[in-house]
């Protein structure tokens, strides 16, 4: 897994876009006290469930790999 050039910025953007996606869909309401890692995991699982992104093999799912997948997804958003 090769780190993207501006991966941290893309992860931040993915969280913002993912929160908006989940709330517009009506499946989640994030609280201000939710941690970034909780948001990352929920957004990753939601996007996999909706078949927006390809799932990772379950033994490879970690915060690092979920962040990477979300960064790739964010880089493809408008």
pLDDT (0 to 100) of residue 77:
87
pLDDT (0 to 100) of residue 64:
95
Closest CA to 72 of 25, 32, 27, 13: 13
Reported as a pLDDT band with limits 50, 70 and 90, residue 16 is very high
How far CA 31 is from CA of 9, 16, 38, 60, 68, in Å, comes to: 22, 13, 11, 28, 23
- How confident is the model over 23-56, as pLDDT tens digits? 999 999 999 899 999 999 999 999 999 999 999 9
Question: Domains plus CATH for the chain?
Answer: 12-22+35-75 (1.20.120.1930)
Q: Are 31 and 47 in contact (CB under 8 A)?
A: no
Reported as a pLDDT band with limits 50, 70 and 90, residue 11 is very high
Please indicate, yes or no, whether the overall pTM of this predicted structure exceeds 0.75: yes
Q: Is the pLDDT of residue 78 over 80?
A: no
């Amino acid at each position: 897994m090769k780190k993207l050039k501006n991966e941290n910025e893309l992860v931040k953007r993915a969280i913002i876009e993912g929160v908006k996606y989940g709330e517009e869909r009506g499946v989640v309401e994030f609280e201000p006290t939710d941690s970034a890692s909780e948001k990352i995991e929920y957004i990753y699982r939601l996007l996999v469930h909706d078949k927006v992104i390809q799932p990772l093999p379950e033994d490879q799912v970690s915060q690092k790999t979920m962040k990477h997948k979300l960064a790739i997804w964010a880089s493809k958003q408008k």
